[in-house]
Structure 1
């Protein structure tokens, strides 16, 4: 025999089937980065849906209440009313009594500075001390520069000594050259010897 068709009343008595929620990503993802990402996307979608639903509800209430004035219209009306009410009174040219009393009072004379305080600021009997001249700032390479300068001077001294010896040798060679008769010229030699002694004494 064929199965009977169920009645509508029977289906109403049956418990309502719970709606299954939507799914993001595969159901069998292992716990890890991909699953957390899928859950985050799902939660974001749910949150956005709730916001949309709340907005639609509020919008429906406002539309049911009737049209309202724009915020700009209400602001301009309030400003116009405020201008009419808050007309400032013209400022008076009279001074405040306290200020007038201050202007009328005589100026106090400056109080002289006590001698003790003056001595503290100016130790030499109240006179302002003169500034010391600034010392030149030490260069970072002052020692190195001094060494270089010293070496230059030593090199110059050695060069002069070398030149003197060379000139002295040449002068002595000329002085020792015999004259036409084969005799030594002692006068010329004496000049060279004298210059040698003077050079030695100058050191």
Structure 2
């Protein structure tokens, strides 16, 4: 329940700040929370980590800036007698310090040279393998169709009668032999 409202002029006997509960801050979310592990989830995690890093840098910058402002004495609004005469002291303003970015850490080998990174695997390597397999299967089916068509044409030529009206058994046997060899070679 909410605390009772006090009348004007009255004070809360328990203390005004003692009754209020400090809410615990929750983190922020980027993207849907129920994404499966994959490209989209990794992308949202990267965005979130970048936002966190930027917030840390901003916080560090604000802290340093506050320190600088507290150490520098504020300039007086009024002018002194020396300044009115034209004898001004020239002071160079101190440059503001900015938080340094974290240096890139590069893994080093024992000999001091940077390690060679492995190439990043392609995001679509599996899909490309499947596509290549399908392409090879389609080419094999096409070759098989062409071979059967060639056999049919060769058998049709071989079955034509010669000038005397007799069958050409030698040509027919050659076509049948090549067909059997191909069948035996496949199995």
More helix by share: 1
Which protein is bigger by CA-based radius of gyration?
1
Scaled to the shorter chain, the TM-score interval is: 0.3 to 0.5
TM-score (normalizing by structure 2): 0.38
TM-score (normalizing by structure 1): 0.36
Q: Which has the higher contact order (CA 8 A, sep 6+)?
A: 2
